[in-house]
Each structure stands twice: as structure tokens, then as C-alpha cells.
Amino acid sequence: ENNGGNGRKKPNILITGTPGTGKTTTSSLLADAAQLRHINVGDLVKQKNLHDGWDEDLQCHVINEDLVCDELEDMMEEGGNIVDYHGCDFFPERWFDCVVVLQTDNPILYDRLSNRGYTGSKLSNNIECEIFQVLLEEAKASYPENIVVALQSDSIEDMSKNVETLVDWVRRWSPAS
């Protein structure tokens, strides 16, 4: 039996990667070009209070993974979503038809995160996360290898090419593939 797409009419794509690699910018362009719904998980967590408070050390919300998954379940079942988040191991495997891991060369990422105001351990933790390819390893450990793709996101040209590649993939995707 061919179970591709789990009955969805449109595919679900996860766009993950270290903060600053371009998830939100890429997701937003892709959503427009391929007529998909962009779900920025970080924003959703804040809007709907899907967290267990504020982590003073890490300077971020402590995401409640169960609440996030409950919130997204119906939309994911429907299909046609781009999920944008810097983590990927707590979403159900069955949700996604494609998992994109964006990657950026270190000096470029360093500048982007500095421009965003990151300093100290927040900056160095994210740089280390990228050096050790934490998100690529997490994606490979959490999803079938044949749906995980790493894309370089150093320049505007890279981003345009990535969006083009993904738009083509969405056009070719069919529920039975």
C-alpha cells in the first residue's frame, strides 16, 4: 500500500536550522510562492502561551512541546504547511513530507546573530550548534533519511535558489508519491 502524504492534498514541509540561518525569511518567501501556510512556531508559542515560563539562563521561553503539537495537529492533518522552528525532534514523524535543514558558514552566521543583538553565551551557543551540525543530526535521527535535505543559506542567491528548488518540489509532489 502506498501511504505517501498520509492522505494530505498538499505536502507539509519542516524548515529547521540554527537561529539566523534564514528559516523565517525562506519560509515566508516559499509560502508566498507555493501557496502554503507559514507557521512560525516561536511566534505561535508566544501568541498562544504554549510555554512553561521564561528561562532566565537561556533567555527564551521554555516551550511546552505537547501543547505545541496539540495546537498544530489539525492543520498538519489538512496539509499545506511550512513549519519554521530551530528544533525538530518532538514533532510527530508522520507530519512531514520534506525536512529542510538550512546551513550557514560560520563568519556569516556570526555577523547575522551579532546584528540581531546576540552576545556572550547566547551567541557562542548558537555558533557551536552550527559547527557541530546539531540540527542536521537531529533531523537525521528523527525522520527518514530520504526526506531530509541540507541547503546552504549564505547569500541572497542561495536563498532564491533554495526557494526555487522547493517550489519545484511542491509542484511535483503528489499525495501518492
Q: Which residues form the interface with ligand ADP (CB under 6 A)?
A: 17, 19-25, 112, 153-156, 158-159
The least distance separating Mn ion from the CB of residue 84, rounded to whole angstroms, comes to: 6
Q: What does the DSSP 8-state code read for residue 105?
A: -
Strand ranges (DSSP E) for 71-166? 81-84, 98-103, 148-152
Tell me the number of residues near Mn ion by CB under 5 A.
2
The least distance separating ligand ADP from the CB of residue 117, rounded to whole angstroms, comes to: 12
Paired strand residues for 117: none
Segment holding 116, helix H or strand E? none
DSSP, collapsed to helix, strand or coil, labels residue 154 as coil
Contacts of residue 127, Cβ cutoff 8 Å, sequence gap at least 6: 106, 109, 110, 113
- 152: how many CB neighbours lie within 10 A of its CB? 15
Q: Which does 141 bind (CB under 5 to 8 A by kind): Mn ion, ligand ADP, none?
A: none
Is 35 or 155 the residue whose CB approaches ligand ADP more closely?
155
Q: Is 24 in the site for Mn ion (CB under 5 A)?
A: yes
The least distance separating Mn ion from the CB of residue 112, rounded to whole angstroms, comes to: 11
Task: Report the C-alpha gap between 122 and 56 in whole angstroms.
Answer: 12
Is 6 or 152 the residue whose CB approaches Mn ion more closely?
152
DSSP, collapsed to helix, strand or coil, labels residue 13 as strand
The least distance separating ligand ADP from the CB of residue 91, rounded to whole angstroms, comes to: 17
Is 10 or 23 the residue whose CB approaches Mn ion more closely?
23
Residues at the site binding Mn ion, with contacts judged by CB under 5 A: 23-24
